[in-house]
Amino acid sequence: MPNIQKLQDLTTQVRRDILRMVHKVNSGHPGGSLGCAEFFVALYEEIMDRKDHFEMNGIGEDLFFLSNGHISPVYYSVLARSGYFSVDELNTFRLINSRLQGHPTTHEGLEGIRIASGSLGQGMSVAIGAAQAKKLNNDSHLIYSLHGDGELQEGQNWEAIMYASAKKVDNIISTIDLNGKQIDGTTDDVLPMGSIKQKFEAFGWTVVEIEEGNNMEGILEGMAEAKSRTGKGQPVCVLLKTEMGNGVDFMMHTHAWHGKAPNDEQLEIALKQNAETLGDY
């Protein structure tokens, strides 16, 4: 049984990392990062079967691809705290000569990153390719990917979604961060997408819904369910309902903090709501 308290403590520390990283450089994307903190912690600590060191080809382990690369703060924090690189390096986020670029990249050789992302809509195709390579290599491990809900407005996703079911890519679990928000407002304001569940189902995917995407036990249960649906001839989609800015009261229930950093005073309030657990970097 996973130690839920331990996972929650790590999540709180990840929140602090995210807030401090974006505050320091007065840029970056805290909203979506905070909303996915529990998911990343669950994924790297409990769900994925991964090696303790980084190999680009990822043979013999589960792999994760982040398509909505702007939530790099949560990705970097969790990668560092999972041992891929030193947590001290989080200090270099978005600074000149850093491996922690604004959006994730393989270009600087940062352990844990297998593809650049940031220009939206490309990650699912890459994840599908990696899944098909696993099949060719007779590697029974899984591919996980994460995508924003607003990101589904990019057409390439639908090419990929159509392809994955047609080719029975059933070793992939693609999670959609359903926070209902994007830069210009709610997804319903910007471009209503109707039922994402029905769309994935119509495209031949198995859909698992996680109603409480910021609840650790809910995530673990839902992802276990998703994993049990793999290997059955259909790709698996997880609809993860999250709250953008989760864990910081003034960043929740608004799209305002999608790509805005807190000032000194706001940081102090936010950190007070997330007391240090494992130690700041």
Partner 1 sequence: MKIYENTGNKDTRSGFGAGLTELGQTNENVVALCADLIGSLKMDAFKANHPERFYQVGIAEANMIGIAAGLTIGGKIPFTGTFANFSTGRVYDQIRQSVAYSGKNVKICASHAGITLGEDGATHQILEDIGLMKMLPGMTVINTCDYNQTKAATLAVADHNGPVYLRFGRPKVANFTTENQKFEIGKAVNLTEGNDVTIVATGHLVWEALEAAKVLNEEGISAEVINIHTIKPLDSTAILESVSKTGCIVTAEEHNYLGGLGESISRVLAKNKPAPQEFVATNDTFGESGTPAQLMDKYGLSSKAIIQASKKVISRK
By CB under 8 A, residue 119 contacts partner 1: yes
d(CA 70, CA 116): 11
By CB under 8 A, residue 114 contacts partner 1: yes
Neighbours of 100 (CB within 10 A): 24
By CB under 8 A, residue 57 contacts partner 1: yes
By CB under 8 A, residue 238 contacts partner 1: no
By CB under 8 A, residue 163 contacts partner 1: yes
Tell me which of 33, 105, 182, 230 binds partner 1, using CB under 8 A: 105
What number of CA atoms fall less than 13 Å from residue 250's CA on the CB side? 14
141 versus 260: smaller Cβ distance to partner 1: 141
Q: Which stretch binds partner 1 (CB under 8 A): 12-20, 59-67, 240-248, 271-279?
A: 59-67
Tell me which of 31, 32, 58, 150 binds partner 1, using CB under 8 A: 58
Helix, strand, or coil here: 239?
A: strand
Report the Cα 232 to chain-centroid distance in Å.
24
* H or E segment and range at residue 165: helix 155-166
Would you call 228 exposed, middle or buried from its count of C-beta atoms within 10 A (0-12, 13-18, 19+)? exposed
By CB under 8 A, residue 160 contacts partner 1: yes
145 versus 274: smaller Cβ distance to partner 1: 145
Site for partner 1 in 166-195 (CB under 8 A): 166-167
Q: Which stretch binds partner 1 (CB under 8 A): 102-110, 175-183, 194-202, 230-238?
A: 102-110
Terminal-to-terminal C-alpha distance of the chain: 29
Q: Which stretch binds partner 1 (CB under 8 A): 57-65, 173-181, 204-212, 242-250?
A: 57-65
Tokens of residue 33, six digits: 């990062």
* H or E segment and range at residue 206: strand 206-210
Site map for partner 1, 27-56, x if CB under 8 A? Answer: -----------------------------x
d(CA 146, CA 89): 24
Characterize the bridge pairing of strands 143-148 and 172-178. Answer: parallel
Tokens of residue 84, six digits: 């891929």
* Site of interaction with partner 1 (CB under 8 A): 56-59, 63, 65, 105-107, 114-119, 122-134, 136-137, 139, 155-156, 159-160, 162-163, 166-167
